[in-house]
């Protein structure tokens, strides 16, 4: 049977990440960055597309148990067999120059024969490298990529079936460490990493980082695991945060809704900054704010919804025909053409983020207000046009209500900033008029008085879970009857087993065939909206159900299928983990957040 998405655990070094299955196989790894071509792509194909399994020789199934070391991203996977028991510890230590994947095998009891099977396939599983021996290493080279593999102590290793295999035995207390290191093929071998020192350093560094978390309320383990996951999704050199480490994990098994999420979305900006500031990670929040400033610098008309890890703008989308897709869900896509869409809501998200950063006292920069003023002036001229909306639909532009609400947020934050700081220059009267006009139009054209609910777009009857954010961003107060009516309508029409879809799948809005699962971030928004409208007990019950959807190591993907009881979409998903932390802070922050 094909593994489920929730069968995977995450390890990473804050520049790239690997997914490790319950069977001890690393099935996804892009080197040297999150958005580089994968050298292990079994996740989206089969074993011949690259993987690295270490497990007891005669065991083909999943492990007996697995868990992260407390408050770390160091993964322990254990097997109990008739011969005895072993543990495989997986980690990616912080790199000086080149990325390393460290796998340490330790005997726990008895005498167990262990087998390592490594199949490197560069360029998303399409290129078989040339492998040779060199100074105790196996060296794989193809084009620009070079990977070095060694073990300490050295164990019998041979090449077979276009793979590199090792076999050895361990008794209780014995350890064998493997280190796989990538570097550009035109450069000399990088310095060797001591795997055991790397293990101790990784545990120490992660636990020290977690100690800065100031949340001490209920569900702290889930909150901390989400914070660690968000840290692992951060590209350390720039501060950008990728939406997920994968591409093309399906929103419907066998379907075509398969997208590349290894980029940084502006839609996550305010929620991400709030997580960092509220949970005690001010430095990370400032790094994200600075990434955002660099990414959006330039002509406001050129603002994109997403960027590369360092702010790259060109992310062309293409399909990879040699990969069959996760559980046969094709096509596999690299890049994301949604980068070319117009989504007016991102202007509101950027303005809200920078206002939040200013209110929190993050160090200011002289050009921040100039960027904001340019954005709001452009938006004042362009906001009346339709757009593709938050969900990046491919069924044509519409006047999405959430987009217009976020236009109002942009104007509102500009007005409030000027009102609080008279030294800044700007058209206060003009921007107030702009803000008020947007508010009037949304309430007139985006509201269905017959059903007492705001709708997905002007003139429609469909709903959109993003409307749950209206009280959170301050468009209307939580006790406004229109807000309560919208929450109740969304619960009634978009709910599936108590969890929310993003919008109705029975329309042509998204322009795609098939369906998708319930969207976890939207369900977290519902919990927060219920809390804001005084239904805190219902909110906490929903939050508890959502937390329980995480896999055995605390990770959430983008979506959940209540019928098949499985996770769907790219994994692990920043939006879902941001939703978990923000909702915990809203529900329980007064009980334990600093």
Question: Which phi and psi (to 5°) does residue 560 adopt?
Answer: -140, 135
CA nearest neighbour of 456 among 494, 521, 400: 400
Whole-Å CA distances, 463 to 221, 231, 345, 466, 535:
34, 33, 17, 9, 21
Question: Which phi and psi (to 5°) does residue 57 adopt?
Answer: -55, -40
How many helices (DSSP H) and strands (DSSP E) are in the chain? Answer: 14, 28
Residues 6+ apart with CB under 8 A from 351: 372, 375, 376, 409, 410, 413, 414
Rounded Cα–Cα distance for residues 415 and 398 (Å): 27
Domain 5-196 CATH (choose: 2.130.10.30, 2.70.98.50, 1.10.1060.10, 3.40.190.10)? 2.70.98.50
Report the half-sphere exposure of 466 (CA within 13 A, side-chain side). 21
Rounded Cα–Cα distance for residues 504 and 545 (Å): 22
C-alpha 74, offset from chain centre: 19
CA nearest neighbour of 63 among 25, 107, 36: 25
Rounded Cα–Cα distance for residues 580 and 568 (Å): 17
Rounded Cα–Cα distance for residues 130 and 117 (Å): 16
pLDDT of residue 21: 98
Please report where in the chains the tokens 């100690």 appear, as a residue: 211
The most distant pair of C-alpha atoms in the chain lies apart, rounded to whole Å, by 79
pLDDT of residue 591: 52
Q: Is the peptide bond before 331 cis (omega within 30 degrees of 0)?
A: yes
CATH architecture of 449-593: Alpha/alpha barrel (1.50)
- Cα angle 351, 441, 510 (rounded to 5 degrees) comes to 75
* Residue 375 near residue 300 (C-beta atoms within 8 A): yes
Write the DSSP string, 281-335.
Answer: -HHHHHHHHHHHHHHH-S-GGG--SEE-TT-------EE-TT---BTTB---EES
pLDDT of residue 594: 34
CA nearest neighbour of 466 among 522, 407, 535, 533: 522
pLDDT of residue 514: 85
Rounded Cα–Cα distance for residues 261 and 172 (Å): 42
pTM above 0.75, yes or no: yes
Dihedral sign of CA atoms 128, 132, 135, 137 in order: positive
Structure tokens at 473: 């961003």
pLDDT of residue 582: 96
Mean pLDDT of successive 10-residue segments in the chain (594 residues)? Answer: 94 98 98 98 97 95 97 98 97 94 98 98 97 91 96 95 96 98 94 96 98 96 98 96 98 95 92 92 94 92 94 96 97 96 95 94 91 96 96 91 98 96 93 98 98 96 97 97 98 96 82 90 98 97 98 98 97 98 92 42
Rounded Cα–Cα distance for residues 328 and 242 (Å): 25
- Identify the bridge partners of residue 38 per DSSP, sorted by sequence position: 30
Rounded Cα–Cα distance for residues 217 and 38 (Å): 39
Whole-Å CA distances, 540 to 497, 523, 546, 580, 583:
16, 12, 10, 12, 9
pLDDT of residue 515: 86
Q: Quick count: other Cβ atoms within 10 Å of Cβ 58? A: 11
Write the DSSP string, 114-129.
Answer: EEEEEE--HHHHTBPP
Q: Quick count: other Cβ atoms within 10 Å of Cβ 366? A: 6
Structure tokens at 390: 């938050």
Locate the domains of the chain by residue range.
5-196, 449-593
- Identify the bridge partners of residue 164 per DSSP, sorted by sequence position: 118, 159
Beta strand residue intervals within 136-174, DSSP E: 137-142, 145-152, 157-160, 163-171
* Residue 252 near residue 515 (C-beta atoms within 8 A): yes
Write the DSSP string, 185-237.
Answer: TTSPPPPPP-HHHHHHHHHHHHHHHHTT--B-STTHHHHHHHHHHHHHTEETT
């Amino acid at each position: 049977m094909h593994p489920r998405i929730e069968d995977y655990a995450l390890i990473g070094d804050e520049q790239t990440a690997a997914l490790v299955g319950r069977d001890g196989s690393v099935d996804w790894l892009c080197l040297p960055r999150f958005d580089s071509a994968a050298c292990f792509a079994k996740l989206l194909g089969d074993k011949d597309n690259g993987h690295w399994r270490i497990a007891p020789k005669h065991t083909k199934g999943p492990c007996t148990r697995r868990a992260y070391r407390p408050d770390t991203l160091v993964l322990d996977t254990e097997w109990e067999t008739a011969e005895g028991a072993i543990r495989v510890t997986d980690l990616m230590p912080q790199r000086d120059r080149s990325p390393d994947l460290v796998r340490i095998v330790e005997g726990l009891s008895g005498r167990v024969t262990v087998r390592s099977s490594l199949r490197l396939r560069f360029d998303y599983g399409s290129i078989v490298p040339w492998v040779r021996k060199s100074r105790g290493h196996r060296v794989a080279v193809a084009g620009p990529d070079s990977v070095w593999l060694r073990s300490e102590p050295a164990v019998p290793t041979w090449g077979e079936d276009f793979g590199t295999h090792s076999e050895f035995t361990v008794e209780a207390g014995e350890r064998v460490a493997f280190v796989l290191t990538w570097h550009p093929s035109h450069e000399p071998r990088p310095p060797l990493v001591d795997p055991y020192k790397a293990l101790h350093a990784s545990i120490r560094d992660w636990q020290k980082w977690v100690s800065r978390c100031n949340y001490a309320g209920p569900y702290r383990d889930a909150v901390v695991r989400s914070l660690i996951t968000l840290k692992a999704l951060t590209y350390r050199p720039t501060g950008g945060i990728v939406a997920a480490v994968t591409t093309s994990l399906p929103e419907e098994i066998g379907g075509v809704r398969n997208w590349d999420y290894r980029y940084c979305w502006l839609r996550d900006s305010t929620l991400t900054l709030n997580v960092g500031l509220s949970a005690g990670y001010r430095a990370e929040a400032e790094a994200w704010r600075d990434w955002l400033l660099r990414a959006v610098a330039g002509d406001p008309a050129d603002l994109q919804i997403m960027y590369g890890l360092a702010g790259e703008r060109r992310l062309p989308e293409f399909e990879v025909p040699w990969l069959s897709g996760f559980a046969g869900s094709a096509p596999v896509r690299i890049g994301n053409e949604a980068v070319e869409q117009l989504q007016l809501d991102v202007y509101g998200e950027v303005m809200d983020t920078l206002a939040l950063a200013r209110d929190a006292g993050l160090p200011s920069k002289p050009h921040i207000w100039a960027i904001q003023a340019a954005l709001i002036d452009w938006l004042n001229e362009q906001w009346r046009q339709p757009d593709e909306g938050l969900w990046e639909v491919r069924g044509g532009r519409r006047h999405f209500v959430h987009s217009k609400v976020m236009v109002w947020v942009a104007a509102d934050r500009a007005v409030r900033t000027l009102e609080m700081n008279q030294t800044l220059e700007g058209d206060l009267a003009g921007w107030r008029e702009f803000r008020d006009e947007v508010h009037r139009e949304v309430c007139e054209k985006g509201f269905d008085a017959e059903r007492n609910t705001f709708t997905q777009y002007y003139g429609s009857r469909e709903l959109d879970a993003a409307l749950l954010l209206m009280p959170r961003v301050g468009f209307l107060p939580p006790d406004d009857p229109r807000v309560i009516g919208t929450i109740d309508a969304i619960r009634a029409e978009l709910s599936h087993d108590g969890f929310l879809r993003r919008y109705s799948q029975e329309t042509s809005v998204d322009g795609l065939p098939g369906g998708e699962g319930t969207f976890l971030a939207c369900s977290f928004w519902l919990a927060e909206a219920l809390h804001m409208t005084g239904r805190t007990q219902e909110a906490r019950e929903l939050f508890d159900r959502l937390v329980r959807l995480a896999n055995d190591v605390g990770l959430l993907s983008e979506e959940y299928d209540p019928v098949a009881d499985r996770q769907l979409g790219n994994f692990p998903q920043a939006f879902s983990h941001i939703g978990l932390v923000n909702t915990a802070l809203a529900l329980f922050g007064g009980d334990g957040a600093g």
